[in-house]
Each structure stands twice: as structure tokens, then as C-alpha cells.
Structure 1
Amino acid sequence: MPPISPRHKLLITICKLLVVLGIIGYLLVQIQKEDGFSRLVSEPKQWSYLLTAQAMILLAFSSSFVRWFLLVHGLQLNFHLRDSFRLGSLGFMFNQVAPGSVGGDLLKAVFIAREQPGKRTEAVATVLIDRVIGLYAMLIIASLALSFADSSGDVDGTIRTIRSVVWFAMTAGTVGLFVVLSPWATSSKTRQLAESLPLIGKTLLRLIDALEIYRDRRGYLLGAFILALLTHSFLVTAFWCIRCGLPVQGPTFLQNTSLVPVALVAGALPGMPGGLGVMEGTLAYLYTTIGAAKSDGAIVAFTYRAMTYVVAAVGVCYYFAARKKVEGMIHDAEELAESIE
């Protein structure tokens, strides 16, 4: 496949930004129509809940940074926990402001590859597996909450459809996980098949080697999975605290646990920078399925987004503290993005 030209990349970026602006503009109009802004200004807020939400968000991101550190350490790569926090916040910042090809995940992979030449495939593998584990944990939390909500009769037809999709995705992920961790995935026949493939054969072999290390050190995967469950539990709790702290009508804690992971999964899908607009629009719609106003869901989502920018602000500080090094990493990340397109 020929590489995408710079002009086409620019056009794609502009289209993404237009979609994001369209969604955000629509949600802001909905908030204005339903007097959301006037309620935010005039009605009292529960600041203790909002401060708790901010603390939950910081704990969630911290646990996700530790999770990635575990996965990198599991591949026996030389990596420090402080680097995980620094790169995690820097990567999150780039995910929010970089609608192009260079996102935070590539930046994190490039850092490890730079520090340990010849380990690029392993570096990319840690970031990819970190994403997969995070998504899988999110699906598990959503499926459990949706099951409890369904047994209580507290859902409508749309939520039942979402529950079916989530259950299917979780089942597929579970099957895929067992296949990947099975001896077959790293068998000699699989290696021969990978080696016979043109262009990507060597890369696949190194990915298989990474899988074999993880299979022999499953404690790291288990630890990463537990941290992922903890991360998303913090995030779900943060959304509920925001809903309680603002003058809005929203879901119960169980309903919140059902809705929030679905919105976060939508926001995690590739395409938009940091899921901006997609997560907010999804949560606003999901609020309507439990009888709440779309504007209230949008207000909660926008407030969550603003609170996450505290983490992005830390990334900005790291960027200016090591600007030349980061710019070199950006250049390498652009080359890496082109090589895997």
C-alpha cells in the first residue's frame, strides 16, 4: 500500500477536526437550550464530590502508568517507574492535542526504542498490550454492571443491545487471550509461518518472542490486568462523583457503572484526538436511555474532560523541560508511524 501523501494527511486531519467541532458545538447548543449553563452558574455545587472526582482521576492515571511499567519490565527491558509517569503524562497530552499520526502511544514506544536500540518491536508490543488489557478490563466492568442492571429491570432496549455487543466483545477478547497465551501461538509451526511472510516476517517473529516471554511471566500480565480493573473503577467512580457534585440529574451508581465504560470505549476508538467529542456525545446519548437530559450527560462528560487536563498539564511541563529531546522523539515517532501504516 503506497504511503499517504502529506496533502491527504492534512485533509484527513481537517475532517477529523470538523467532526469534533460539530459534535462539541451540537452538545453546547443542547446545554444552552436546556439552561445547563445557567444552572451551573446559579445552583450550588458539592465541591467535596468534585474534589474526590479529581483525586479519583489522578489515581486512575497513576495506576495506568504503573501498569505500563509492569508490562515493560515483564519484557526484561531497562525502564524506570519515573519514566513511566513522565512519558504517560506526556503521551496523554499528545493524545489530546495531536490529531495527526503522532499520538502518545507511539511517543512512548519511541522512548523505549531509543534507550534500547534494537528493541523497537518489543517497545511497540508493550504499548499495544497495555491498550488491549485496558480495553478488556473496561469491557469486563461494563458487562458485569450491565448484567446487574438488567436483572434489576433498570434498562431499556438500547441498553440491552449495548449489553449484547459488550458481552460479544468480551467473549471474543477472552477467546483471543487464551489463543495468544496458548503454546500454539509460539509453536515452531507458527514461527515458520510468520517467517515465511514477506516484509512483516521478522517483525512477527519478534512479537512472538515477546508473547513467549509474557507467557512465561504471567504474573506481570495478571498484575497489569488487576491494575486495569483498578484504573477503570477509579474512572467510573470519578464520573459518579462529578454527577453528584454538579446540579444535574443523572444515573444511580449502578447505572453509572453500566454507562461510563461504554462511553470510554467509544472514546478510545482510533480516529479522534483523545476521543474528544466522541466520548462526550456517547455519554450524552446514554443519559437519555435512563431518562436523564442529554445536556446533563454532556455537562458531566465535559467536566471529566476538563479534570483530565490536569494530567495533560503535567505532560506540558515535561515537554518544555526536555523540549529538544521530545522533538527528536516526535520525529522518530513520525517515521515509525509511516513504517507501520
Structure 2
Amino acid sequence: MSEQFHRRRLVIQAAKMLLAVGILLVLFYNLRGNDVFIRLWREPKDWRLLGLAQCLVITALSLNFIRWFLLVRALELDFQLRDAFRLGSLGHLLNQVSPGSVGGDLFKAMFIAREQPDRRTEAVATVVIDRVVGLYGILLVATAGQAIAGRSTEMTGAIKTLATVVAAFAVIGTIGIALLMTPAFTGPKVREFAAKFPAIGGTLARLIDAAAVYRSRRRYLFAAILVAGCTHTLLVTAIWLIGRGLPVDAPNFGTTFLIGPMSLCAGAIPLTPSGLGTFEAAMEELYRLVGCAAGTGASVAITFRAMTYVMATLGAIYYLNARKTVKEVLHEAEIEEEIEEGAEPSV
């Protein structure tokens, strides 16, 4: 049964990677004959703006680690800021390159739980809520982007529809967080009912458990949401700077704040590893919808992704210094996944 579990997880991961590669191949195929990448390589670039964009990306990802640190400290777990950066960068690395089924979020949860086994539920709750807060932050920034764009952007029907959908999800997210902070919606009966949903039942149950833990520590939750908003604001600003620094005709600041968060939302959909392919394809299409030349969005997106890999190198350094411990935690995380999915764990 355990071998069947591993085969299934391997197939899922392989399918996600193939989907990412397929999306990128289609994207590049559609740009065949376009000289955008040749110009990107040969023509001069504004390295000052690109360097500033890199600094903003690193700062934004660092804020992600600080956000998680706030959520962990809210539960009074023995956890230091350096631990947040160490595990956060390792988690970021795993989200980019992990060949197995264990992603960065589960790795971080298992690492804390390993060091504090009596606080296992709280450790998992920090990672679940951190992911929810991050996604909610993207929606808030995307919604705010509509106001920032204002009259500087001529929105097509498709852009208007996407903007409406994003705003609707932001409203739904706000209502959902408010309900999760209500005791009546996080009780045992609600959790049991949510756990019965196919495919997403386990995730919903963990979310309800996490919400129950944070209900009495709302100020930390709101602080984390504020940090998430700052994170994604910096990332969108970095996207705009990349567009200014590359030899392409990129959108203005207001338009970037409209379509940049939408691209980040697409990248947050867990169809491919770390949104690889979905983010690039979404940005290329959105840039095209606001009048940019073919290849502009893809150029900006690829440069942005390369900048996020710089932070992954920090995780690689931590990994090289603690390979044995990391491998042990990854193995424990795989066993945990087997148990949650009802498989007989292997040892």
C-alpha cells in the first residue's frame, strides 16, 4: 500500500512538472519569430533599476519569513527570527526544486513539530495560516490595484472580468476569515463536516484547526495580513522596475499594479511547482491585453522568477550545512502525508 502511495505521489509531481514544461514550451512556441529575446540579450538594460528590483524581491521574500515568525511567536513556540529565515529559505528552495511530494510548507511544519513534539498542532497551524494570509494578501493588493490603475489604464472586457473575479475572491476571503474567527464555525461538528469534502476535506479541516488556534490571537493575524500586503506591494513594484529596466515597452506603474497581482494570483494556483509556467503565461497574456508587444510579459516574468531564485540560493546554503537533518525531516514529512491519506507508512 505504501508503494502504491509513493507511485501515486510521484505521478502527481511528474504531471505537475510536465504541465509546467508544457506551458512554457507553448509560450515560447507562440513567440517563435519574435525578436524580443534577442533584443533582451543584446540591447542595453538599466542595471540600476534591475538591481533595485532584485533588492525589493529579496526584501519581500524576507518579509514572508518575518510574517511566519510573527504567527509562530503568537503561539508562544520556542522560535527565533533566525529560525524563520533558515527554515523559510529552505522551504522556498524546496518549493522550487523538490523532486518529491513534500513541499516547503509541510517541511517547515514538520521541522517545528520535530523540535517541539508536544506542540504539533500549533506548529502545523502556523504554516497553514501563513499560506492563507499570503494568498489573502495577494487578493487585497490585486483589488487595490484596480483603484491605483484608475483612469491610466484602458481596461478591456477580459481585464474587467478578471478584476471583478479577483475583487469577488477578496470579498469572499474577508468573509471567510471573519467566519473562521467565529467560534461557531470552528467547532468539532463543522470540522467533521468539512473533512468529508472530497479532495479538499483534509485541507479544510486543517484550516479550521488553525483558525481555532489563532482566534484568541487576532492581533498577530492582522499584523501578518499587513505584512503580506507589504510583501506583495514590493513584489509588484519589483515587476514594474523590471519592465523599466529591460529593453521592452512595459506598462506604466498604475497598469502594472492592476495586472501584476493578477499574475501573482495565477502563480499561486497549485497546478505546477511554485507556479512555474502558469505565472509566466498569465503575465504574457495580461501584458498583451493591455497593449504590450508579444514577449514583453514573458520577458518580465522570466526575469522576475530568476530574481526569486536568488533567495533559493540561501536555502541551498542552509541545506548543504544541514543535509542529514533536512533529509530526516523530509522523510518524516512523507510519512506524515501517508498517514493523513490513509496509507500504511513506510520506514
TM-score (norm 2): 0.89
| Range with bigger deviation, 16-25 or 299-308 | 16-25
Match of 1:252 in 2: 252
Taking the TM superposition and a 5 Å limit, the aligned residue runs for 1:237-316 are 237-316=237-316
Match of 1:178 in 2: 178
**Structure-2 separation of matches of 1:172 and 1:28:** 35
The alpha-carbon deviation at position 198 of structure 1 amounts to: 9.3
Q: Cα deviations across residues 181-205 of structure 1 (Å, max 9, x unaligned)?
A: 124235xxx3466579999xxx999
8 Å CA contact 1:122, 1:206 repeated in 2: no
Q: Cα deviations across residues 55-109 of structure 1 (Å, max 9, x unaligned)?
A: 0001001111000000011112111110100111110110001254200000000
Match of 1:231 in 2: 231
The alpha-carbon deviation at position 142 of structure 1 amounts to: 0.6
AA aligned opposite 2:296: D
Match of 2:105 in 1: 105
Secondary structure of 2:159's partner? Answer: helix
Match of 2:216 in 1: 216
**Structure-1 separation of matches of 2:190 and 2:43:** 65
Match of 2:79 in 1: 79
Match of 1:51 in 2: 51
8 Å CA contact 1:121, 1:207 repeated in 2: no
The alpha-carbon deviation at position 214 of structure 1 amounts to: 2.2
TM-score (norm 1): 0.91
CA distance 1:320–1:129, shift in 2 (3 Å): same
Q: Cα deviations across residues 257-308 of structure 1 (Å, max 9, x unaligned)?
A: 1111111111111131111111011101111110112311001100011111
AA aligned opposite 2:130: D
The alpha-carbon deviation at position 15 of structure 1 amounts to: 2.3
**Structure-1 separation of matches of 2:63 and 2:104:** 17
Match of 2:12 in 1: 12
Taking the TM superposition and a 5 Å limit, the aligned residue runs for 1:147-186 are 147-149=147-149, 154-185=154-185
CA distance 1:207–1:50, shift in 2 (3 Å): closer
Q: Cα deviations across residues 124-145 of structure 1 (Å, max 9, x unaligned)?
A: 2111111111111111111121
8 Å CA contact 1:31, 1:298 repeated in 2: no
**Structure-1 separation of matches of 2:234 and 2:193:** 45
CA distance 1:38–1:208, shift in 2 (3 Å): closer
**Structure-1 separation of matches of 2:12 and 2:73:** 36
**Structure-2 separation of matches of 1:152 and 1:198:** 46
Secondary structure of 1:267's partner? Answer: helix
Q: Cα deviations across residues 163-188 of structure 1 (Å, max 9, x unaligned)?
A: 111111011111111111124235xx
CA distance 1:19–1:301, shift in 2 (3 Å): same
CA distance 1:210–1:271, shift in 2 (3 Å): closer
Q: Which runs of 5+ in 2 are unaligned?
A: 197-202, 342-347
8 Å CA contact 2:180, 2:212 repeated in 1: no
CA distance 1:219–1:164, shift in 2 (3 Å): same
**Structure-1 separation of matches of 2:146 and 2:325:** 45
8 Å CA contact 2:236, 2:257 repeated in 1: yes
8 Å CA contact 2:129, 2:207 repeated in 1: no
| Range with bigger deviation, 171-180 or 148-157 | 148-157
**Structure-2 separation of matches of 1:194 and 1:157:** 40
CA distance 1:117–1:261, shift in 2 (3 Å): same
Q: Cα deviations across residues 207-243 of structure 1 (Å, max 9, x unaligned)?
A: 7675345222222112111110110011001101110
Q: Cα deviations across residues 134-158 of structure 1 (Å, max 9, x unaligned)?
A: 1111111111212443655621111
Secondary structure of 2:244's partner? Answer: helix
Q: Taking every aligned residue pair, what percent have the same amino acid on both sides?
A: 48
